[in-house]
Amino acid sequence: MIFLKSAREIETLRHANLIVAEILQELRQKVAPGVTTLELDALAEELTYKNNAQPAFKGYVMAGRVYPCTLCTSINEEIVHGIPSDRQLRDGDIVGLDFGVIYDGFYGDSAITVGVGKVDDEAKRLIQVTEEALYKGIEQLREGKRLGDLASVIQTTVESAGFSVVRVFVGHGIGKKLHEEPPVPNYGDPDRGLRLKEGMVLAIEPMVNAGGYEVEIKEDGWTAVTKDGSLAAHFEHSVAITKKGPYILSKI
């Protein structure tokens, strides 16, 4: 069941996602060598409550496992769902910050990947291409287009840069639940799949590996890493489809 959102619901989703966007900017400023991912998690949680919102990920159950933190922090070969710990970020690392809140019954969800200190050119290019793929995909979010149009633009952008798109994790509808229908893959063929309609709100989240697209899950049951140990990047925006085109709810 795909829930179409009213203009009023979209404004509440905007509020939730703007809180997410502003907190992600604060977190980005804090990223530096020596900072632990648990310190980032604590800051995210404090700012969430200051904004009269609740963490969306803490306590979230996926495949029978309970996620323990407010933030997901995925370092280097970690793709998504890295769990904050006392591990310190190091100069040259890249770190994915994936963050969600609930505000007035509606979810916000967005992610960025940032370099720590001085990052090498290939890591920078991976981050740039992943963000570019996200924005090119978002351009396709218009009434009458199909999910395959979005997917193929993302896949082509990533693969023509020599990187690969993760298959086993996908984006999703978002609203009164964090994960609603439909699933939103980042690979596929144009002119295929669901036809997009005004009122749909989708979280688009390309996960891009510098090497192959295969994934492994670490012993903690959450952290997804690249099978070949290559670097990975992840960007995510929650976007409403409106008469005027895509409305990026998680952008300041």
Per partner kind, with CB cut-offs from 5 to 8 A, the member of ligand MF3, Co ion, none near residue 57 is ligand MF3
Nearest approach, Cβ of residue 82 and ligand MF3 (Å): 10
For residues 148 and 194, give the distance between their C-alpha atoms in angstroms, rounded to a whole number.
Answer: 8
Q: Is 180 in the site for Co ion (CB under 5 A)?
A: no
Nearer to ligand MF3, 98 or 131 (CB): 98
- Distance CA(134)–CA(206), nearest Å, equals 6
Q: Which does 41 bind (CB under 5 to 8 A by kind): ligand MF3, Co ion, none?
A: none
Give the DSSP per-residue string, 120-138: -HHHHHHHHHHHHHHHHHH
CB nearer to ligand MF3: give 222 or 247.
222
In eight-state DSSP terms, residue 87 is: P
Cβ within 8 Å of residue 226, ≥6 positions away: 77, 79, 209, 210, 211, 212, 214, 215, 216, 232
232 binds, among Co ion, ligand MF3, none (CB under 5 to 8 A by kind): none
Q: Beta strand 71-75 with 94-103: parallel, antiparallel or unpaired?
A: antiparallel
Look up residue 59 and give its DSSP letter: T
DSSP E strand boundaries for 65-165: 65-66, 71-75, 78-80, 94-103, 106-115, 164-165
Q: Which does 134 bind (CB under 5 to 8 A by kind): Co ion, ligand MF3, none?
A: none
Tell me the closest approach of the beta carbon of residue 32 to ligand MF3, in angstroms: 24
Shortest Å, Cβ 109 to Co ion: 4
One residue of 77, 109, 149, 180 binding Co ion per CB under 5 A = 109
**Among the listed residues 97, 203, 215, 224, the single contact to Co ion using CB under 5 A:** 203
**Residue 60 interacts with, from ligand MF3, Co ion, none (CB under 5-8 Å by kind):** ligand MF3
Q: How far is the CB of 29 from ligand MF3 (least distance, A)?
A: 21
**Cα 33 to the center of its chain, rounded Å:** 23
* Residues of this chain that bind Co ion (CB under 5 A): 109, 203
